[in-house]
Amino acid sequence: MAHRSQDGTDKKEEKMIMEENKQEEKKEVKKSKADEIREGNEELKKLIEERESLLQRNEELESKKLVSGLTDAGQALAKPKEETPKEYAERVLSGKIKS
């Protein structure tokens, strides 16, 4: 004799329904995790593309600088100002230079 609950279904049916619901919930959780991973991958792809674009732009700017002569390469260093004998004498007399 089957046990009947208040609504008329037996206990085995209730267990089966509960197990099916649990399995569906697990599938939903797995789907949502997969969706999160997919979204994360898409975001990473966008960031990588943006970085590559910025690197390419930087390379273009550097090459334009090189071609236009705006880089520091090949430029002579500024010579320090030569001191006149008068300026030297003033420094010595002021005590800035110890003899």
- Which pLDDT value is given to residue 74? 61
What's the pTM value of the predicted model, to 2 decimals?
A: 0.41
Blockwise average pLDDT, block size 10, the chain, 99 residues: 54 84 76 87 96 95 80 69 90 79
- Which pLDDT value is given to residue 50? 96
CA 54-55-56 angle, 5° bins? 90
The Cα–Cα gap between 27 and 33 comes to 10
Residues sharing a CB contact under 8 Å with residue 52, sequence separation 6 or more, in sequence order: none
Among candidates 24, 29, 3, 23, which has minimal Cα distance to 14? 3
**Residue showing tokens 């792809």:** 45
- Which pLDDT value is given to residue 34? 85
